């Protein structure tokens, strides 16, 4: 019972307070990835050869990056982008 209450409070108070900050960090990582993969926007990255070394560590951001970038305007898709595909 106490455990459930603890979880409820965490969800209601803590997660809510940190989720915007977390989203900001994800957005910054997306920005980093976009700088590396600028060819996706049609701007070749002259240092791409040295940047591929970073991709294994950023792989989770790689999925759905294009969709998130393309759909920035739509709030729903942005949210689903942050939550991830079902």
Partner 1 sequence: MNLNGFKYFFLSGKGGVGKTTSSILMALYFSQRGEKTLLVSLDPAHSLGIALKAKLGELPKKVEEKLFALEVNPEKEMEKYLKKVEKEARQIVSPAFLGEVEEELKLAHSSPGALELATADAIYRIAVEGRGFDKIVFDTAPSGYTVRLVASPNSIVKWWKGLISVREEALKYEFLSNLKEKRKLKEIFREDPILKVLTKRLKEYETLKELFTGKETAFGVVFNEGLLPREIGVRTVRELEEAGAPVKFLVFNRVKNGIESLKAKNKIVIKVPEFKEEPIGIEKLKELLKLTRWEVK
Q: Which residues bind partner 1 (CB under 8 A)?
A: 14, 18-19, 21-22, 24-26, 28-29, 31-32, 35-37, 39, 44-50, 52-60, 62-63
**CA neighbours closer than 13 Å in the CB half-sphere of residue 41:** 12
- Judged by beta carbon, residue 39 or residue 72, the one nearer partner 1 is 39
Nearest CA-CA partner of 84 in 70, 68, 73: 68
- Judged by beta carbon, residue 31 or residue 72, the one nearer partner 1 is 31
CB of 80 to partner 1, least distance (A): 17
DSSP 13: I
33 token code pair:
């990835």
CB of 40 to partner 1, least distance (A): 10
CB of 2 to partner 1, least distance (A): 19
Alpha helices in the chain (DSSP H): 2-9, 16-36, 48-51, 55-62, 65-70, 75-83
- Judged by beta carbon, residue 21 or residue 76, the one nearer partner 1 is 21
């Amino acid at each position: 019972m106490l455990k459930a209450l603890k979880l409820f409070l965490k969800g209601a108070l803590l997660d809510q307070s940190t989720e915007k900050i977390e989203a900001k960090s994800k957005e910054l990582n997306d920005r980093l990835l976009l700088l590396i993969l600028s060819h996706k926007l049609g701007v070749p990255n002259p240092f791409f050869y040295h940047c591929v070394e970073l991709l294994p560590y950023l792989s989770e951001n790689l999925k759905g990056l294009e969709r998130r970038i393309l759909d920035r305007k739509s709030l729903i898709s942005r949210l689903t982008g942050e939550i991830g595909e079902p």
